[in-house]
Structure 1
Amino acid sequence: MSEISPLARPRPAKVEHVDVLIVGAGISGVGAAYHLTTQRPGTSFVVLEREETFGGTWWTHKYPGIRSDSDLHTFGYRFKPWVGPPIATAEEIRSYMGEVIEENGLTPHIRYQHRIDHASWSSETNLWTIDATRTDTGEAVCFTANFLYMCQGYYRHNRGYMPQWPGMDAFKGQIVHSEEWPEGLDYAGKRVVVIGSGASAATMVPAMAGRAAHVTMLQRTPTYFRTGRNAIEIAEELRALGIQEEWIHEITRRKILYEQAKFTERCFTEPDKVKAEMLGNLRNILGPDYDIGTHFTPSYRPWRQRIAFVPDADLFQAVAKGDASVVTDEIESFDATGIQLKSGGHLEADLIVAATGFDLNVLGDIAFEIDGKPLAFHETVTYRGMMFTGIPNMVWVFGYFRASWTLRADLVGDFVCRLLSHMEQKGAKRVEVALRPEDHNMPLLPWIDPENFNPGYLMRGLHLLPKRGDKPEWQHNQDYWAEKDAFPAIDLEDAAFRYA
């Protein structure tokens, strides 16, 4: 017997139609809703969000000290000034997003507790059909949309990547993942081991230090960190001069972006100097006797993986005070009282926290079909990291690795609005990207060059992501400084766009 497609399940009698369906009410989805509201008034749209409220990462992440790892002058939207400290807490970021929702009347457009299960495209009707479930009631709901705007992010919010080590069942204490932090977890007076060395670990360790008996950051390999005061000097000066916030926001953003671009360039052209500068900052905090070579000197050049900013050097201050420590080693196994290390050492623990990274998802784990056939997303080729060959009327927001995610979300928002207006002027109901005749001999490569950027979560899921070409338009460029000019200049009549 042939298997029946899950998209063939009975649908509700009432099907709601919108011009655009936005997936997710995180930082990208709220921004997308704003751009549609302001740039295309009259466009009908709905935002479907799985959680009970907006915020995405800033709602689902509950671990101690949760904060941004890049500055809010660039992580904030370009259209709304950020007036708080550059490194902000999740609560501060959600408050900012809430203001965007309220100030622009976005609330009526957002449907919370709506989990999208299936999405199917029909070339006969030129429509997407989206089947969802209300998680609060279990009710099946259905939408049709002319255009699908994917703002769901790139990792699973309800679970993280959890390696399986020998002996985990033998541990008598508690093991939690940073992505699945239990409500009310009390770590006061406990010996805590945080496994990981990324932004999550660097946030949790100083937040828990002092309250816990001791916190140990156990890392297999070191990570680069930048430190500095949690303030932007030029913003403070302009504010003291009484300059209006809109001007401060724009000037500060431009200065930060310019300095970030120069720093990234230096990471490629003079990596040894950049490395020495960053390690020198840590040596000043930790003292000349601290083993920086073992614990804070990565084997790779700067910016081959994301560099988190540590405000006021709080992680290193906690280590210097003795409230926290860093162990660089590999795990042999867990046992009843902690972790046995491959070096022969042992870490005693009451609570073990796995800050071991994201679990990559693809297109929100939604089952996609194109004209009745399951979508093989990894076989498509990306157009500028936002459209994909063979997938009509869809754009995906995938931000930057080396700069704030929202910078690209704003650029993509402009592009979507311009594309929709262009289709309207042409009378086109459908658009997709396709390789042009001059592209057919183009080599197809992985989504990102591992020699350029290679965090673990991306390497584990690289086989699930679309291919890229060797031409700028057929890849996800990581250079905001170039894309801010390239995106507005995209020729919508280029042969890469196929309208019908």
Structure 2
Amino acid sequence: MTIEDAVDVVIIGAGISGIGAAYRIAERNPGASMVILERRERIGGTWDLFRYPGVRSDSSIFTLCLPYEPWTGRERVADGTEIREYLTDAARKHGIDKHIRFNSHVQAADWDSSTDTWVVTVADGATGASKTYRARFVFFGSGYYNYDDGYTPDFPGVETYQGTVVHPQHWPEDLDYSGKKVVVIGSGATAMSLVPALAQQASHVTMLQRTPTYLISASKYSTFVDVLVKLLPRKVAHPIIRFIMALFEGVIWFLARKTPPVLKWILRQTAVRNLPAGYDVDKHFKPPYEPWDQRLCLIPDADLYAEISAGRVDVVTDRIDHFDATGIALQGGGHLDADVIVTATGLQLQALGGVRISLDGTEIKPTDRFVYKAHMLQGVPNLFWCVGYTNASWTLRADMTARATAKLLEHMASRGYTHAYPHVGDEPMAEKSAWDIQAGYVLRAPHALPRSGTKRPWNVRQNYFADALDYRFDRIEESMVFGRAGESVPLAG
């Protein structure tokens, strides 16, 4: 085992969250040393992992991009390759790339209260060798799902199918679907971006769904953005565009929660206007739940509807009875012939990238802990975890988390503290779901993530503007315990 030099901060993950954290920490703590541990071979995180045809942002790229690094393209929905290249360029521009150690798969992090440091154990993805880093702080920019395994149900008879079955999370680079019949199982954001892209080369694509999904269409390009960047310097225009786009997404969410009949009417009219006359909109695009009970799926320029109208895509609303040699037999009695079947059936939730967390050698379960201000864990010192919003751009909360982390590090350094952890107090606190959506991946694993309380600062909200206001008037010492090396941290917290 190799012992690396100690650093102030270990950042886990070189995607949006990790790159953003490195920038904000260095901005506010210019003397802090850091290392970014990335298990993959490239920058990008999610945007490097997902390489299926059509992969793209499902929120405005102007809110998904880093607030201090303006997006320079015209489009407001960007594809995965463009986003990864953007992150790579941003990391290089700000000198963040020199801190990244690729092929570094973090296995465990143990808090040593005698030195007030984290001991982070890493496996080298190329050689298998083990390394150990010692750091004052650990920042998890590792997302909220299992990178190794997507979710695939146990389909009866799948072993008899003679075609190709693929999950979008692990798309084969050599998969040739040109001129073939493709069935995509699922109707979430992945399916909505995948299906129109597959239709460009496949002979035909069928999207098989158990229940419909609410779809919202928006133009890929914005006249407002085009005019503003012509009138103003990019650095001035960018925060204005970012705010307007965030506000638009917030208004849609507000309409969905407060006046669902209005939004349902708008979404249905969009479908009717873009689909062939007589198309059964209510069967295939009228979900049995309210808007934003599950995430609205973006279809830029109504591209899915356009492919249906062109005859290249069909939507089938039914349940799978079983697979057979040539495709899928449906419970309704139909059969879908397929050369390729894509299981766009979702993610598996996972806290802190599956890393084993311990305090002085005693393992703790992050899922047993309440979340403090959406980014720290009850009773766990000097550890931060970045999780974005379910109803808005990931980066809106990711940047807020990065700034809060940087602010706490500065506060501690100025007062000589070496550890800080949130303390929930002695009174019991009610618990609620941290994510207020009914998506399949959430319902399958309701206790896979740390817990949310019902009162501040333990209440995890899905409201960017309320959180932004809170951050502006944040009390950094609220429910926090500060100390110095040698003072033990209670396991209960």
Shorter-chain TM-score: which interval?
Answer: over 0.9
In structure 1, what is the equivalent of residue 388 of structure 2?
A: 399
One-letter amino acid of the structure 1 residue matched with residue 233 of structure 2 = Q
Among residues 174, 180, 185, which one is paired with 1:184 in the alignment? 174
For the 8 Å contact 2:192–2:298, the answer to whether it is kept is: no
User: For 2:148 and 2:70, how far apart are their aligned partners in 1?
Assistant: 31
User: For 2:483 and 2:64, how far apart are their aligned partners in 1?
Assistant: 34
Q: Is the counterpart of residue 100 in structure 1 residue 90 in structure 2?
A: yes
How far does residue 444 in structure 1 lie from its aligned partner after superposition? 2.6
User: For 2:238 and 2:247, how far apart are their aligned partners in 1?
Assistant: 14
For the 8 Å contact 1:120–1:368, the answer to whether it is kept is: yes
In structure 1, what is the equivalent of residue 5 of structure 2?
A: 16
Q: Is the counterpart of residue 460 in structure 1 residue 444 in structure 2?
A: yes
User: For 1:493 and 1:154, how far apart are their aligned partners in 2?
Assistant: 27
Deviation track 1:381-439 (CA, whole Å, cap 9, x = no partner) reads 111221111211101001101110011111111111110011112211111101135xx
Deviation track 1:5-52 (CA, whole Å, cap 9, x = no partner) reads xxxxxx33x332110000000111011111122221110000000000
Q: How does 1:432-471 map to 2 (within 5 A)?
A: 432-437=421-426, 440-448=427-435, 452-471=436-455
SS in 2 for 1:160: coil
Q: How does 1:41-440 map to 2 (within 5 A)?
A: 41-84=30-73, 85-241=75-231, 243-437=232-426, 440=427
For the 8 Å contact 2:434–2:461, the answer to whether it is kept is: no
Q: Is the counterpart of residue 480 in structure 1 residue 467 in structure 2?
A: no
For the 8 Å contact 1:434–1:498, the answer to whether it is kept is: no
TM-score, normalised relative to structure 2: 0.96
Q: Is the counterpart of residue 494 in structure 1 residue 478 in structure 2?
A: yes
Superposition CA RMSD, Å:
1.3
How far does residue 352 in structure 1 lie from its aligned partner after superposition? 0.3
User: For 2:222 and 2:475, how far apart are their aligned partners in 1?
Assistant: 37
User: For 1:122 and 1:459, how far apart are their aligned partners in 2?
Assistant: 36
One-letter amino acid of the structure 1 residue matched with residue 128 of structure 2 = G
SS in 2 for 1:157: coil
Moved more, 186-195 or 135-144: 135-144
For the 8 Å contact 1:415–1:488, the answer to whether it is kept is: no
Unaligned runs of 5+ in 2: 485-493
Unaligned runs of 5+ in 1: 1-10
Deviation track 1:113-143 (CA, whole Å, cap 9, x = no partner) reads 0011111111122110011111112221110
One-letter amino acid of the structure 2 residue matched with residue 428 of structure 1 = Y
Moved more, 350-359 or 285-294: 285-294
Seq. identity, %: 39
User: For 2:272 and 2:149, how far apart are their aligned partners in 1?
Assistant: 36
Deviation track 1:140-180 (CA, whole Å, cap 9, x = no partner) reads 11100000101000112232101111000000101010101
For the 8 Å contact 1:66–1:90, the answer to whether it is kept is: yes
Q: CA 1:307–1:497 in 2, change beyond 3 Å: closer, same or farther?
A: farther
The total of aligned residue pairs comes to 483
In structure 2, what is the equivalent of residue 8 of structure 1?
A: none
User: For 1:141 and 1:442, how far apart are their aligned partners in 2?
Assistant: 40
Moved more, 132-141 or 48-57: 132-141
TM-score, normalised relative to structure 1: 0.94
User: For 2:408 and 2:480, how far apart are their aligned partners in 1?
Assistant: 13
* Runs of 4+ off more than 6 Å: none
In structure 2, what is the equivalent of residue 3 of structure 1?
A: none
How far does residue 498 in structure 1 lie from its aligned partner after superposition? 4.2
